[in-house]
Amino acid sequence: MRGSSVGLTVRAPAKINLHLGVGAVREDGMHPLLTVYHAVGLYDDLSVIAAPDWRVGLDAEDYIDPVAVPLDGDNIVDRAATLLADHHGVARSGDLQITKAIPVAGGMAGGSADAAATLVALDRLWRMETSDEDLLALAARLGSDVPFALVGGTAVGTGRGEIVTPVADHGTWWWVVVPSPLGLSTPEVYRHYDRLFPDAPATPTGAGELLAALDSGDPKRLAATLHNDLQAPALDLRPDLARRIAAGEAEGALRGLVSGSGPTCVFLCESGDHAREVAGAMLAEREPPVVLVTNGPVAGAHVVTRG
């Protein structure tokens, strides 16, 4: 990286939707949501150093196609930086490097994590001391999942998902995460949801039973209450994902689920050892090629190193 040596690194987590209730499309084209976000220990890191100009670079894990991450000046990182700079009336500047481990277009909010990390990193680098309230408001303008990427932990999201309220979560939940090399368009999944469910209720499905399961700390109880209204359209568009979920459950996972709008599939397990056993069994089948093990809840975007 260029510029001075004064800088920092911010880490932001992936998310899983433990519950995703989707209401009927509104006149403005948006869907009301009631979701329970869960931050897991699969991270993107964003390192930034002071520089007179602006640059965004990328490193990515082997299972991520770097071409899928736009670096043409209109990346969500660029937009987040511009929004923060305009908020304070300063010029956008800095030399940024994204180290990406969250699947791209995978339903785990990797772009949102990068946006949240950018807000935190540049706020510290530029010494703006932006209030939490203002950071959350800026995050909501960038995307529905960005405020949660700032907050982390486990939280209920309402509105478009941007109104975030932390909830009690007394478990450490272990997951097997299976990315897909072929992305799935979130807008297309929502359009297909509208086709499949033209009579969907205006109010999204509630999450009371799941919240009680989180409070109990019992993974089997949580497994029974996981819910995703976008899973049916995602599986209809991608039948291979249904086969993947069935395979993971056959290997002993408590429950398989499409993460958000997909195509990443996640599998809840009883413990860390159990998750590693399930992951090993799935890898032994040689399909899928990438299987990850992680847990949650974890913290939202936070500084991990400071130069």
Query: Which pLDDT value is given to residue 1?
Result: 30
Q: Please give the DSSP secondary-structure letter assigned to residue 163.
A: E
Amino acid at the residue 119: L
pTM attached to this predicted model: 0.92
Query: Which pLDDT value is given to residue 6?
Result: 66
Q: Please give the DSSP secondary-structure letter assigned to residue 239.
A: H
Fold of 7-168+298-306: Ribosomal Protein S5; domain 2 (3.30.230)
Catalytic residues: 15, 145
DSSP string, 42-98: EEEEEEEE--SSEEEEEEE-TTS-GGGS--SS-SHHHHHHHHHHHHHT----EEEEE
Sign of torsion over alpha carbons 159, 163, 169, 171: positive
Report the 10 Å Cβ neighbour count for 283.
15
What is the chain's percent helix, strand, coil content, to nearest 5?
Answer: 35, 30, 35
Neighbouring residues of 48: CB distance < 8 A, sequence distance ≥ 6? 7, 8, 9, 10, 94, 95, 96, 97, 121, 122, 125
- Cα–Cα distances (Å) from 207 to 18, 21, 81, 159, 212, in that order, read 9, 8, 34, 15, 9
Query: Which pLDDT value is given to residue 306?
Result: 74
Query: Which pLDDT value is given to residue 307?
Result: 62
Query: Which pLDDT value is given to residue 3?
Result: 37
Torsion angle of alpha carbons 81, 82, 86, 91, nearest 10°? 80
Report the C-alpha gap between 44 and 130 in whole angstroms.
22
Structure tokens at 51: 């520089």
Domains 7-168+298-306 and 173-294 share a fold: no
Report the C-alpha gap between 151 and 136 in whole angstroms.
9
What does R_g of the chain's alpha carbons equal in angstroms? 19
Report the C-alpha gap between 291 and 280 in whole angstroms.
8
- Cα–Cα distances (Å) from 91 to 55, 57, 87, 94, in that order, read 13, 19, 10, 10
Q: Are strands 7-22 and 227-228 parallel, antiparallel or unpaired?
A: parallel
Query: The domain 173-294: what is its CATH number?
Result: 3.30.70.890
8 A C-beta contact, residue 125 and residue 85: no
Where along the chain do its domains lie?
7-168+298-306, 173-294
Report the C-alpha gap between 292 and 259 in whole angstroms.
14
Per-residue pLDDT of the chain (307 residues; tens, 9 = 90+): 333 456 899 999 999 999 999 999 988 888 999 999 999 999 999 999 999 999 999 999 988 888 888 887 778 999 999 999 999 999 999 999 999 999 888 889 999 999 999 999 999 999 999 999 999 999 999 999 999 999 999 999 998 888 999 998 988 999 999 998 888 888 999 999 999 999 999 999 999 999 999 999 999 999 999 999 999 999 999 999 999 999 999 999 999 999 999 999 999 999 999 999 999 999 987 777 789 999 999 999 999 987 6
Query: Which pLDDT value is given to residue 209?
Result: 96
8 A C-beta contact, residue 12 and residue 118: no
3-class DSSP state of 120: helix
Amino acid at the residue 61: E
